[in-house]
Structure 1
Amino acid sequence: MTKLGAEDDGPSTLDGVLDEVEHSIGAEGATPPTMTMGDLLSSVGRQSYGPLLLLIGLFAISPATVLPGMTWFAAALTLIVAGQMALGLKHIWLPGWVLRAKAPRALVRGGVREARSWSSRLSVLLRPRLTFLTKPPFVNLIALLVIAAALVTFPLGLIPLAPLAPGLAVAFFGLGMVARDGLWLGFGAMILGGASWLFRALIF
């Protein structure tokens, strides 16, 4: 079984991920008014976990999740991807129901614009450091943390705004993987800790 780290093919910066997503959305007024998740996810490649997790994390905290069921959809997608990451699979498999799911282009475009507003400021804080955390066996541990973030999202999805915490953790894990920045993986772990505390406080 081939182990996969953060250095595989795919966008290597946050702006690069956003560029690819923006290209897949198309110009203003592009038709049809919805796009498939398959097109969206394929825009950043299906052989690199970092950009894919970053995209899923950004989706989880985007306006698109106001649509009924989208929070749980994002959590299920996170679980599928992170499970394969934990196993070290080289090629990421996604089920047909994920690839066929649709999201409004306008909402996805709005999420990209929102991300653009802070991506340049965030990018200057990202750089390769503690890179051993982005490689096996540590990357497998990161995958388990991402799985935990997905699992706590399911019950938190019953509470308005609560799923933003684990979604943000997934986005930070994705950022750390994309930039090979172990410090941001640590930030993701801390946010996940906060989400877990929130889960205990609100559910129990």
Structure 2
Amino acid sequence: MTDATADHQPTPARLRGLTDLLDALRRATNGDKASVADLLGALGERSFTPLLLAISVILISPVSGIPTVPTISAVIIVLIAVQGLMGRRHLWLPGFILRRRVDASKLRRGFDWLQKPCAWVDRHSHARLRLLTRGPARTVAFLVCVLLPLTWPALELLPMVTSVGATALALLTFGLLTHDGLYAFLGYCVIGAMGALVWWLI
């Protein structure tokens, strides 16, 4: 698998929220190992936004503690977001990334850990503040998805820090997917809080 159809096409019906996203990812982790191609393929290859959301959600879980996962995930997110900004019709990822494999049992445990909070978020989301999810605001969101992960490789030894950044991106992309600007706004708030904390520490 080397392509995913771009964001302007309809999102697969099964990906209406985070619970659907987790279910789709679980279907790709039935064996001992799961490749990046397996995980992306499980999302239907229909949109950039669910791909960005899926990777961010995985990094919120304890899976972010697996060595090299934050760095590889950052590379994938940046590649997806850059191509989204370019308006590409198809997503391209290099073969060595698509072939990258992770222990499927660790992924399944991460999905189980996320099940309840994801279900809660799904129950409390609906279309609102759409100004933050379309037009120029959508472009800004993809730009954030390019810039923020660039810091993750240097922070890989601090998995909780990566998880906080991933939470911000997950909130932002979930807002885009569901047209719920409140979650996009919360994502920006998390990024602002992170920036303020780093400024204070410096």
Q: How does 1:109-188 map to 2 (within 5 A)?
A: 109-188=108-187
CA distance in 1: counterparts of 2:150 and 2:21, whole angstroms: 25
Q: How does 1:60-139 map to 2 (within 5 A)?
A: 60-139=59-138
| Partner residue, 1:22 | 26
SS in structure 1 of the partner of residue 161 of structure 2: coil
Task: Report the count of equivalent residues.
Answer: 196
CA distance in 1: counterparts of 2:99 and 2:52, whole angstroms: 19
Given that 2:64 and 2:70 are in contact with CA atoms closer than 8 Å, whether structure 1 keeps it comes out as yes
RMSD over equivalenced CA pairs, Å: 2.1
Q: Which runs of 5+ in 1 are unaligned?
A: none
Please state how far the C-alpha of 1:199 moved relative to its aligned partner: 4.3
> TM-score, structure 1 length as denominator?
0.86
CA distance in 2: counterparts of 1:35 and 1:58, whole angstroms: 16
Runs of 4+ deviating beyond 6 Å:
none
Larger deviation: 125-134 or 151-160?
151-160
What is the letter of the counterpart of residue 88 of structure 2?
L
Q: Which runs of 5+ in 2 are unaligned?
A: 1-5
The Cα offsets for residues 96-134 of structure 1, whole Å up to 9 and x where unpaired, read as 122100011111101111111222211121111122432
Please state how far the C-alpha of 1:64 moved relative to its aligned partner: 2.0
What is the letter of the counterpart of residue 164 of structure 1?
S
The Cα offsets for residues 29-64 of structure 1, whole Å up to 9 and x where unpaired, read as xx3x11111101111132312211111101212222
Over the matched positions of the two proteins, sequence identity in percent amounts to: 26
SS in structure 2 of the partner of residue 68 of structure 1: coil
CA distance in 2: counterparts of 1:108 and 1:35, whole angstroms: 8
> TM-score, structure 2 length as denominator?
0.87
Q: How does 1:22-61 map to 2 (within 5 A)?
A: 22-26=26-30, 31=31, 33-61=32-60
What is the letter of the counterpart of residue 15 of structure 1?
T
